[in-house]
Structure formats: C-alpha cells, structure tokens
Structure 1
C-alpha cells in the first residue's frame, strides 16, 4: 500500500520581522513555477513569455547544485507559510550577484518585497561575502522600485527601450547595492544600518 510522503518543513536560515529566508525545496518546484509564470510576474520581469515547466525544472535542479546561484524560499516568520522566493546568481570573477525576487500572487500588497530583499542583501554581504548585488527592473514598475530602494539598493543606470511593459517598449533601470550602502565596513557590522532598518519595522 502506497502512502503519501508528508512535505518537509521549511528550514529557516535568516529571520527578519515578519519574514525569514529558508532553503528552497524541490517539492515546492511547482509552486515556484506557478509564481514565476503568473502574468504579472512575467510583465514585472520585462519578458514576453512565461518559462516552461521543463526549462524551469532543469534550471532549478542545475542551480540547486551550483556554487554560482542560490534560491531562497521566503516564508512568514511565525508560521512558515511560503510567500515568495529570492535568488542570487553569482559572477565569481567580480564577486557580484544578480538579485531576483518573486512574490506569490496571493501574497502581494502586504509589504513583503522590501523585507525579503533586505534579508537577501544581509545574507549576500554577511554570509556570502559578496562585494555587490545588482538588479534590473522595467522603469514603470514603481512598487518593485520602491521596495528595492527601501531595502538599500541605489540607482545605477538606465538602458533605453530595453524592456517590455504591457505591450510597449520602456526603459530598463539598473540598481546596485554594496555593503557600505547598508552601514559599516567589515564583518557583520556591514549590515548594522540594515538591521536597524529591520528593527524599526517591529
């Protein structure tokens, strides 16, 4: 007689005020894929098409065993409910990483994006010892931009007509963050300013 294997509980790695970073779980792949293929997510990435299941699964499994990328599941701190994911794709030649964020469609509008971003930046600088983290976003995507700025990113440039947004060409904005943007100069003190920001949200 076959029995259903209960899902593993998320493993928290970094706790904030309302959210925690956790290890990504293979059993959650279909949920991650659902979040990423939501039409609003596709538009937010400035893309044309959603990623197919086959491509997503291969990318997940390759990234899961690579030293060049890290996918985090974002969960609520009290209950462990999955609300989104963040990822760091590392270019080791310059010790930098591209940041991406996906919030589950049903969890949007609750202010989770800024804290999820802040927690990932803390990990990037205090644990992974990266020198910088960067991202790109379509210029009209104001909610995402506000969340990134709140978490510590700064404007770094503009690529003209380089993204798609609801059927039209728009500029793509570049943002980056270095440890000094979050306060401090070395070790865990790099994120003292960031931790103060998180504490003020309690």
Structure 2
C-alpha cells in the first residue's frame, strides 16, 4: 500500500499545492497556517531536510511511487529515548483509506527498532476524529489534554496528548 522513503529537494512542489488547501492544513502544523508564498515553503522544506533531530520520511504509494505526504518523529532525544510523532497526508484522495494507520505503524517500528526510542508521543486536535482513531489503532493512548490549545476558524479547541511506549508496542 505505502512505502516510506527520504524526502528529496524535488518533492517541495507537492507541498505548494497542499499547503494552499485550507482543508489539507486545517489540523496540521501551525506554521502551515501562515505560509503563503512558495519562498516560505521552500525555506521550511530546506530546514526540514537538514533537521538532524528529526526522522522525516515521504509517504509514497508502493505501486506508482506517488508522494502522498510526509511523516516521522521530531524532537528526538537520545538521552530520554523519546520523540514526537507527526504525519501530514496532503493527497485528499487517500484520506480515510487506512494510510494514516499504516504510516503510523511503520514510523513507530522505525522509532522503536532503529532509533531505539522508549516513548513516542503526539498531540492531535480533538476535532480531528479520523486522526485520533488512526493513532489509537496504531497503539497510542490518550494521556492528557491541552485545553483550548488550538485556534481554527475563530474558535479554540483542545489538543489531546497521546503516547505509546516500546513495552506496549
């Protein structure tokens, strides 16, 4: 179904389209909410490719190698053996088809086996019901709530803190 592989500089063009789509970025990085030019996206993408404290992988279809988005683990702490999971699926045609759950499972496998992490956490906007469901299917458990931590469409909503431990995985 999907394959994870390193992002390359030539992949930035996909992000131009995705970041301009309000529906695609609704529950994603706050930084995406303020990027309006290709130059801003280029700068962010270049920083992402250079970030050595993160595992960044493109999400590709196995059969056609179409780029669907990216996922990984940011803020990796070797000392604490922990990091923060993220996923961004830009191709809406692939939403609701199990891609998020499959990607999450593959990134957790990389985090626990190759990076030797003990804990992987995430935050998710509570109204992102599909995201919460995908994370739970992959083994994440809710461990807290950040009240009114996100502002979208003029309204605040809570973000959930979820995590999975290597021993639970």
TM-score by length of 2: 0.86
Q: Which residue of 1 aligns with 2:85?
A: 99
- C-alpha RMSD of matched pairs (Å): 2.0
SS of aligned partner of 2:26? helix
Q: 1:54 to 1:177 in 2, by over 3 A?
A: farther
Q: Which residue of 1 aligns with 2:14?
A: 31
Q: Give distance in 2, aligned partners of 1:102 and 1:46.
A: 9
Q: Give distance in 1, aligned partners of 2:118 and 2:146.
A: 23
Aligned: 1:72 with 2:29: no
Deviation of 1:163 after TM superposition, in Å, equals 1.2
Gaps of 5+ in 2: none
Deviation of 1:19 after TM superposition, in Å, equals 1.3
SS of aligned partner of 1:177? strand
What are the within-5 Å matches in structure 2 for residues 36-185 of structure 1?
A: 36-45=19-28, 47=30, 49-52=33-36, 53-92=38-77, 93-103=79-89, 104-182=91-169
Q: Give distance in 2, aligned partners of 1:170 and 1:33.
A: 27
What is the count of residue pairs matched by the alignment?
165
Bigger-Rg structure (1/2): 1
TM-score by length of 1: 0.73
Gaps of 5+ in 1: 1-17, 183-202
Runs (4+) off by over 6 Å? none
Q: 1:66 to 1:102 in 2, by over 3 A?
A: closer
Deviation of 1:147 after TM superposition, in Å, equals 0.5
Residues 56 and 71, structure 2, Cα contact 8 Å, conserved in 1: yes
Deviation of 1:61 after TM superposition, in Å, equals 1.9
